[in-house]
Amino acid sequence: MRLFLALAMMMTALLHPVLAQEDGTPWQAAVSGQIAALQAGDAAAALDFAGEGFRTQFAAQPEAFLAAVEASGYGPIVRSRSHSFGSFERVSETVVAQVVKLVGPDQALYEALYQLVDEPDIGWHVLGVALRKQPGIGI
């Protein structure tokens, strides 16, 4: 009985930080979803993860959204090999700044600062991204 209780307490202690992170960061699904859509070349799906301004501007031409993303220098995100989440900061009740670390197609490291908004009744969407190359190489 003591062994069972000890194991249960250990599992709870180990899982608690993971569960807390997942509960506290629902916007990360929007980031991962948009990156996956960009990588697949699915312009409509990538646009669905964008903020209202982008969705309105490119509603009739999702392919133009994908072209604009590429033309604006975000190729390392579109063709990234992997991404992981760094720190985040709640700017307000509905806006978050999330750091995303990426390994680009050239094995170079990149850091992106995503600004996301929790839009009423539809959830988290990407407002904008600032991307910069980092020193080093990814594995």
How many residues appear in the chain?
139
What does pTM read for this prediction? 0.80
Q: Give me the numbers of helices (H) and strands (E) for the chain, helices first please.
A: 6, 4
Whole-number Å distance between alpha carbons of 51 and 125: 5
The DSSP code sequence of 36-80 is HHHHHT-HHHHHHTB-HHHHHHTTT-HHHHHHHHHHTT-HHHHT-
What does the pLDDT average to over 7-34? 61
Model confidence pLDDT, tens digit, residues 90-123: 999 999 999 999 999 989 999 999 999 999 999 9
| Token pair belonging to 42 | 């699915």
13: pLDDT confidence band, cut at 50, 70 and 90? very low
Cα distance between residue 98 and residue 114, in whole Å? 5
pLDDT band of residue 20 (cuts 50, 70, 90) is very low
DSSP reduced 3-state for 91: coil
Whether the pLDDT of residue 56 is over 90: the answer is yes
* Structural domains in the chain plus CATH codes: 2-137 (3.10.450.50)
